[in-house]
Amino acid sequence: MQSLELKHRLATRWTHWVNFPVLSLMIMSGLWIYWAYDPYRIGFGDITLIHMFPDWFYKMSGIGKKLSFGMAIHFVFGWLFAVNGFVYAIYTLVSGEWRELLPDAKCFGQALEVVKHDLGLGPLPPQGRYNAAQRITYTAIVFMGFGSMVTGVAIYKPIQLAGLTSLMGGYQWVRFFHFWLTMGYVAFFGIHIGQVIRAGWPNFRGMICGYDLPKGENNAH
């Protein structure tokens, strides 16, 4: 038997599902830390389109201001976030799966076609395990994770790692990058969930159990 199609290996699935709650805790505790000093906004010049974050957001989310607890959670779960990320990166490098993930030159043109397809405007270009848009996005997310770790330790120990901190523009700039990387995850998460819902159960099941029916076999039940 064993004619099922392998979608994702165990290491990929586990690091993915470990990352989900760990990153959620990092984002929640990061919000508690950010609230103590929240200078960022989207705007230009004197015009602020949106303050990060508006009062209504603080009120409606209702998770309160807990700087000290936020820091404690962040500096405990930061270990898990980093270790899990390294496990995934090392596995992907050693197994050779990075070849299916890392975008090649064609991907950037094809990614546009994927977006057009998703908007109902054209056919899906041929793809391997991941389509061109996924290859670009998932690779970016891995590098962003690394960026979060590096900016994170630079904010955590800005004097012991003064070289690293100043390389990235100094303490306040590093905090700025760390914050916007996190906003990047939030944006990714929204699109990712939407795409997962669109792709349907067999795709989701592939991320849970690792397999799908062989290509061409009827999936509709």
Partner 1 sequence: MLTNEQELARRTRRAFIGLGAGAVAGFAGLGWLSAGPIEEGNIPPNFRKILGFNEKVVRSALYSQDHLAPTFPASAIRKLKPNGEEGLEDELVAADWRLEIQPYKAGAVTQKLTLDDIKTLPRHDETIEFKCVEGWSTVTQFAGALLSDFTAKFCPGSEKAACIGMNTPDGVYYVSIDMPSALHPQTLLAWEMNSEPLTEEHGAPLRLVIPVKYGIKNIKRIGRIEYTDSHPKDYWEERGYDWYAGL
* Token duo for residue 59: 């009120």
Q: Are strands 5-6 and 41-44 parallel, antiparallel or unpaired?
A: unpaired
CB of 50 to partner 1, least distance (A): 19
Q: Where in 166-205 is the site for partner 1 (CB under 8 A)?
A: 166, 170-172, 175, 205
Residue type present at position 29: S
Q: Judged by CB, which is closer to partner 1: 10, or 119?
A: 10
Nearest approach, Cβ of residue 87 and partner 1 (Å) = 14
Taking the complex as a whole, how short is the minimal distance between the CB of residue 78 and partner 1, in angstroms? 9
- Kindly identify the residues of this chain, within the stretch 55-84, that bind partner 1 according to CB under 8 A: 67-69, 71-73, 75-76, 79
Let me know: does 171 contact 149? Beta carbons within 8 Å: no
Nearer to partner 1, 38 or 104 (CB): 38
**In angstroms, rounded to a whole number, what is the distance separating the alpha carbons of residues 72 and 25?**
11
Q: Closest approach of Cβ 150 to partner 1, in Å? A: 14
Name which position in 49, 60, 121, 159 contacts partner 1 (CB under 8 A). 159
18 binds partner 1 (CB under 8 A): yes
Q: Is-contact 22 87, C-beta < 8 A?
A: no
**Which residue in this structure is represented by tokens 């989701």?**
204
In the numeric block, the tokens 């309160």 are attached to 64
Measured from the CB atom, is 140 or 161 closer to partner 1? 161
Q: Name the nearest CA neighbour of 144 among 204, 100, 188.
A: 188
Q: Is 64 helix (H, G, I), strand (E, B) or coil?
A: coil
Q: Name the pairing type of β-strands 5-6 and 211-212.
A: antiparallel
Residues that bind partner 1 (CB under 8 A): 1-4, 13-14, 17-18, 21, 33-34, 36-37, 39, 67-69, 71-73, 75-76, 79, 157-162, 166, 170-172, 175, 205, 208-214, 217
